[in-house]
Amino acid sequence: MTSKLPLSYNGRYCAENDGGRGICKAVIDKSTKNLVGLHMIGGNCSEMIFGAAAMIENKQTIDDINKIVFPHPTVPKSSKTQ
């Protein structure tokens, strides 16, 4: 089963990508409810996708993921600001 959302649901994405478009598509195993894949297209997706990779590697279910508290907003230090 799949679920698609625009990245505009993510406040940080909107703040960093004014008017930017993006999409996130989650692929879930219907029988186990495990996250088995994630597609993200848009600016700065490389900073968000690592979390999904860890969830897939650890065979987390959608119920497990719904219990995670994601700190917001968090921004890594950019080498451009030095």
Q: How confident is the model at residue 79 (pLDDT cuts 50, 70, 90)?
A: low
Go through the domains of the chain in sequence order and give each one's CATH number. Answer: 2-81 (3.30.390.30)
Write phi, then psi, for 18 (nearest 5 degrees): -55, 115
- Mean pLDDT, to the nearest integer, of 70-77? 67
pLDDT in tens, 21-47: 899 999 999 999 999 999 999 888 887
pLDDT in tens, 3-26: 999 988 887 788 788 877 899 999
pLDDT(49) > 70: yes
60, two tokens: 């987390």
pLDDT(54) > 80: yes
This prediction's pTM: 0.74
Between 60 and 16, the more confident residue is 60
Is-contact 34 59, C-beta < 8 A? yes
